[in-house]
Structure 1
Amino acid sequence: MLELTTEGWILAVLASMAVGMAKGGLAMVAIIAVPMLSLVMSPVQAAGLMLPVYVVSDIGGLIAFRRSFDMRVLKTALPGSVIGIAFGWATAHIVPDWGVTLIVGIIGLAFALNALIRPDLGAHPRPVSPVKGNFWGSVAGYTSFVSHSGAPPFQVYVQPLRLPALVYAGTTTWFFAITNWVKLIPYAALGQLSPANLAAAAVLTPVALVSVWIGLRLVRIIPQDLFYKLITWGLLAVSLRLIWQALVR
């Protein structure tokens, strides 16, 4: 079991709640989990600790959204995700964590500002695109591999499609569930699934599973227009936080 202070366990519980709520449909919430835990441990250890929590929480999310997802989006984004994960595995000892964090922050910031400054661009749904899907899927797979922060790149592709709120949430849940299962192989090979991490994850997983229900309830009662506004503002806030975290390392 990991030796964490009281503060460390509090942050770990909050991170697990964020993961669970994301699997319940509030996708952007989970991106704060690893940065939060990085306050009390290394980012690599934080990512290794949270992956089992993600994987088990995915089950709750998949049950909740078993009928609410867009298969077209998954078919155009998942192949790229696998490529991104493979690239992350191959370059795990080369690219610094702060560099990936900065890239994710800049991408998310650019997209959020564009959506806020020119909201008319999102008024009409854009078509599903295999080219865009695989590109942003690969970026999402790579950044998800490094720090579980694949939501902003995935959002860049999916949000302009203007899917119904539940379908959007379900598609996001299915995409990252499959991505997380694929990540188990390289994480295990790199030694990030240590017995100490797995024991701590077992303690935190029930918290995440309860939080799946909380996220599911919230996403069902939030109006669709407000849903997309909250996602955009959440993306803006998180992106600024990631940029700041990278620059003040």
Structure 2
Amino acid sequence: MTFITDPLFYLIAVPAVLVVGIGKGGFAGGLGIVAVPLLALVTSPIQAAGIMLPILCVMDVTGVKAWLRRWDRSLMVRLLPPAMVGIIIGALTFRYVSESFLEILIGTIALVFSLRYWLGGRIKLNISLPDGPACWLWSGMSGYTSFVAHAGGPPLMVYLLPKKLDKSIFVGTVTIYFAGVNYFKLIPYGMLGQLSAENLGTSLLLAPAAIIGVKLGVWMHERVNAVLFNRLMYVFLFCAGLKLLWDGWSQVLG
């Protein structure tokens, strides 16, 4: 089995995977966006995404088991097709984008959504569209950003939150949606060589951290202030975004 051997990589990767697992296990999974920006500090964004996908798929199994009976089926029928289109667009354009472009894109996503979290309602996306086009816009964008950086949550939230779904139905729908999206991504990731022996071996080494993270999230759900935890994670996300933007623009301008 081949895998990344750099100790610095695991110094960053293990906490990143733990955070994502904790988010999925106890905080509605909203912290998945943290992983790739953090891993991209110690490896390429492309390899970071390839390593994280099998780990996310392992986490999704637990989530699907927990929420299989509580999700909106009619909404899912509308959400998944545009998400698949977004993933396909990401796959078709993958070979034409540079590492610096991905660093800038992922860094920008990290900064925008960390700032949106910190500023709360003061940043509003006032795009008024009928439900059908809005679904295609936001779910399609979710599929694309999920493909390039496993950061599909924020665009999806823009579409779903105004619907004011029942809490359990909301969490269940989001969980099932991303399980479907992540397992669909395995096809283009495999075709593009993202599931290499080194990436899969590294994912396997990090899998225990993923399982521990999910279990920790379940344990922490009633014991840790969710607002405080999320604030801390978004500080890390903001700092990672700044670093990625610096690296990306340094390559472009240098």
TM (norm. structure 2) is 0.79
> Which of the residues 245, 248, 253 maps onto 1:247?
245
- Asked whether 1:100 is paired with 2:105, we answer yes
Range moving further from structure 2, 137-146 or 70-79: 70-79
1:18, distance to aligned residue in structure 2 (A): 2.4
Residue of structure 2 equivalent to 1:125: none
Residue of structure 2 equivalent to 1:4: 5
Residue of structure 1 equivalent to 2:250: none
Residue correspondence of structure 1 range 1-249 to structure 2 within 5 A: 1-26=2-27, 27-95=29-97, 96-101=101-106, 104-105=109-110, 108=113, 112=117, 115-117=120-122, 129-219=131-221, 221=222, 237=235, 240-241=238-239, 243-249=241-247
1:153, distance to aligned residue in structure 2 (A): 1.1
1:6, distance to aligned residue in structure 2 (A): 2.7
Residue 22 of structure 1 aligns with an amino acid whose one-letter code is G
1:117, distance to aligned residue in structure 2 (A): 2.8
Residue 61 of structure 1 aligns with an amino acid whose one-letter code is G
User: Aligned equivalents of 1:233 and 1:163: distance in 2?
Assistant: 24
1:106, distance to aligned residue in structure 2 (A): 6.5
Q: Does the CA contact (< 8 Å) of 1:115 and 1:232 recur in 2?
A: no
Range moving further from structure 2, 235-244 or 93-102: 235-244
Residue 109 of structure 2 aligns with an amino acid whose one-letter code is V
Q: What 5-or-longer segments of structure 2 have no aligned partner? A: 248-254
Q: 1:214 to 1:76 in 2, by over 3 A?
A: farther
Residue 98 of structure 1 aligns with an amino acid whose one-letter code is E
Q: 1:86 to 1:160 in 2, by over 3 A?
A: same
1:218, distance to aligned residue in structure 2 (A): 4.4
Residue 108 of structure 1 aligns with an amino acid whose one-letter code is F
User: Aligned equivalents of 2:41 and 2:237: distance in 1?
Assistant: 17
User: Aligned equivalents of 2:141 and 2:229: distance in 1?
Assistant: 19
Q: What 5-or-longer segments of structure 1 have no aligned partner? A: 122-127
Identity %: 32
Q: 1:243 to 1:12 in 2, by over 3 A?
A: closer
1:137, distance to aligned residue in structure 2 (A): 0.8
Q: 1:34 to 1:236 in 2, by over 3 A?
A: closer
Range moving further from structure 2, 205-214 or 195-204: 205-214
User: Aligned equivalents of 1:91 and 1:5: distance in 2?
Assistant: 30
1:48, distance to aligned residue in structure 2 (A): 0.7
Residue 132 of structure 1 aligns with an amino acid whose one-letter code is A
User: Aligned equivalents of 2:26 and 2:135: distance in 1?
Assistant: 20
User: Aligned equivalents of 1:55 and 1:139: distance in 2?
Assistant: 20
Q: Does the CA contact (< 8 Å) of 1:100 and 1:143 recur in 2?
A: no
Residue 186 of structure 1 aligns with an amino acid whose one-letter code is P
Q: Does the CA contact (< 8 Å) of 1:112 and 1:235 recur in 2?
A: no
User: Aligned equivalents of 1:84 and 1:222: distance in 2?
Assistant: 37
Q: 1:11 to 1:109 in 2, by over 3 A?
A: closer
Q: Does the CA contact (< 8 Å) of 1:107 and 1:153 recur in 2?
A: no
Report how many aligned residue pairs link the two structures: 238
Residue 207 of structure 1 aligns with an amino acid whose one-letter code is A
TM (norm. structure 1) is 0.80
User: Aligned equivalents of 2:132 and 2:240: distance in 1?
Assistant: 28
- The RMSD of aligned alpha carbons is 3.2
1:103, distance to aligned residue in structure 2 (A): 5.3
